Structure 1
Amino acid sequence: MRISILGSGYVGLVSGACFADFGHFVTCVDLDEKKIERLKRGEIPIYEPGLDALVADNSAAGRLTFSTDVNAAVADAEVIFIAVGTPSRRGDGHADLAYVASASEMIGRAMKDFTVVVTKSTVPVGTGDEVERIIRKVNPAADFAVVSNPEFLREGAAIEDFKRPDRIVVGLEDERARPVMESVYRPLYLNQGPLMFTGRRTAELIKYSANAFLAMKITFINEIADLCEKVGGDVQAVARGIGLDNRIGSKFLHAGPGYGGSCFPKDTLALLKTGQDYDVPLRLVEATVSVNDNRKRAMGRKVIAACGGSVRDKTIGLLGLTFKPNTDDMRDAPSLAIIQTLLDHGARVRAYDPEGMDAARALIEGIEFGADAYDVAEGADCLVLVTEWNQFRSLDLSRVASLMKTPRLVDLRNIYRTDEVARAGIEYTSVGRRAELSEIETQEAAE
């Protein structure tokens, strides 16, 4: 099939490369000429494992092309995906649909024969209706169907998620779009990919509901971690104990410094705004947003407490800046709030991240950046593990201890065993665990 994707950001680029890998002929369109020129040269503007090779292979095969010519791309396409940004709007938290509206107008003006227009961007309930209205306004004679097909891609594992999805949600009101979307996803459909057809508004709500629910799971286990610290429990054992219940599941039950990234923060806010617009209070989601925001700042205070109650004139080293590993995304990363709290209390901050340094430099002032984990540890009064990159999971702890002014580790991801840190002579603070061996560590030692 001939597919055009408007927007060559994270979702658009990953989707375009994967669709091309399925055998479709895909044109990724963007008005940013510099970005398109970079993509034509094989330069990937984002960090996503495996994406550079996927783009290169399908570009070489002639199935994936890049262009700034919206009119030509729209006129030639059987299916057009809208994959533009929908950031939180300043002031009210609602999703800003300006780019979606602009894309809809351009599609309406350039459309020729019957075309399926698909919103791939994360959009509030009713956006499909608005896309349809805009296209009809600029081109009353247009023959088209508007479909909602939300993405469920995890940064760092996007290609795997696209090619082996838990579900493919397609929301439509015009049945003519059904066979077209079946053809788009035919390679996955033949492999028993769960293709789920719903109404358009239902599909839009599925995306927001899924992200809000996962955000609530993260926030729930973080609050349980706080309780564990007070009563002497072990949050990892609690998470394992409840996660073995199939009704709950083990995913997203890892205590840490709070969620961040491009999806959960803005999507929970947008869902809250939708609830307000329809006079349906979403109290659980509202509490989730509030608790998560407070948690990020609380992690900064946790570091201060681990340093004896003051970090003034002390050097604090941070390992990891991005909101999760295997991405360069700094949007709403917990590290931002943690760093600001430390700076506000007079600390000197030095940080290192394998992929997020450039993005961090544009967002954070007043800190130093190290060359690697050991460079950050040298002379530090405390080392804080914020993002669980694989290279931080097997540090030479004895070397770390010898480099630090005060051997002290605050592990906000619980990736180290308390006994191995203690053997290295490092004072250790984790999340939701006792200072001595955790219950899981004790069980593993016995086994």
Structure 2
Amino acid sequence: MKNYKTQMEAAKKGIITPEMKIVAEKEFMEVEKLMALVACGQVAIPANIMHTSLSPEGIGTGLKTKINVNLGVSGDCKNYQQELEKVKLSLKFGAEAIMDLSNFGKTNTFRQELIKLSPAMIGTVPMYDAIGYLEKDLLAITPQDFMRVVRAHAEEGVDFMTIHAGINRRAIETFKRDGRRMNIVSRGGSLLFAWMEMTGNENPFYEYYDEFLEILREYDVTISLGDALRPGCIDDSSDSSQLGELIELGHLTKRAWAKDVQVLVEGPGHMAMNEIAANMAIQKRLCHNAPFYVLGPLVTDIAPGYDHITSAIGGAIAAASGADFLCYVTPAEHLRLPDIDDVKEGIIASKIAAHAADIAKGIPHAREIDNKMAEARRKVDWDAMFEIAIDSEKARAYFESTPPEDKHSCSMCGKMCAVRTTNMILEGKTVAFYSEN
């Protein structure tokens, strides 16, 4: 019988868990080093004891940048089968985490099926689910009701939960005093803001924080401290509301660690490129080097339909500057619930950003796959290139859509291909274009 409740408690006691062994092997890291990082909170291994299909992953210092895929039904789009297809696609392309953000109806049936089949970490935002789960209007929900929903998600096997505990009365006073161009754009944050304003009460996730932590500790659920006051446009970034909440999240991080609950801290949504690196450094300082989970940041506000690109730009800079976990953004952001093609585009963009950042950070073996691609390209080995590519099917389809006359080139350059020309000269051949060699 194990004598620990959470990965953090085990690490503090010097116990190497099976999950730590798996993560250390995946990350090419000595397990003792990983254990020390888990013990001090710089690495989290979200692994609910009820999630038996999980393939554990680590998030944090010295590890590969992980990505999360958001999915789930809404009142306007209630096709659970389509959401399961998105799950399968996410797993196919190597997403390490999936967040079920369903906000309509009885979502637990879908979530239980998701947890049963998914080796990826599963996250939720209990605040989203509260209204449908409880079948109550927002004003009628009590702090005890919120606890019921959190416990239900924990019992189902959710590995990490976004809890917006930092938006307390003090944070709201700052927000209302200073104002913003886009106000509050966090769905969970806006619901809590409304509940607090309508009831006159303190944020229940803040007021009863220790009680929520006890539930999370029981199932080893990682708390993802939500950024309810994240900037929703670049003009609101790095303002008093965002940074004031971040300071509070730093205090909440230490309180969670004191109870052996692992922590992720969530970060900004929209931010100009020149502010990103500084924000990553500030977050790590204020939140004691806890793993940082960022949405984007989206580096401009004028690209609806292309926000997977604005997000990937910001995500690459953020991860290279210290962020550990990227939440994908799809082309449908700000416009609609994403369809399966949107999900694929979002995943690929986020994977590119994460991998590019890992190269920049010098993560062990990150460059190896790029070197393999370079070797395949030097040899003009198309099959090897397709196998290595992040999206093999798309790469092959593009190549075959306009086939080259010479298999040692593509239709872009034909016989003038630089690689072909150089290879021929190095092989002692003559390069000619109007006669056969």
After TM superposition, the score normalised by the length of structure 1 is 0.28
Larger relative strand fraction:
1
After TM superposition, the score normalised by the length of structure 2 is 0.28
Bigger relative contact order (CA 8 A; separation at least 6): 2
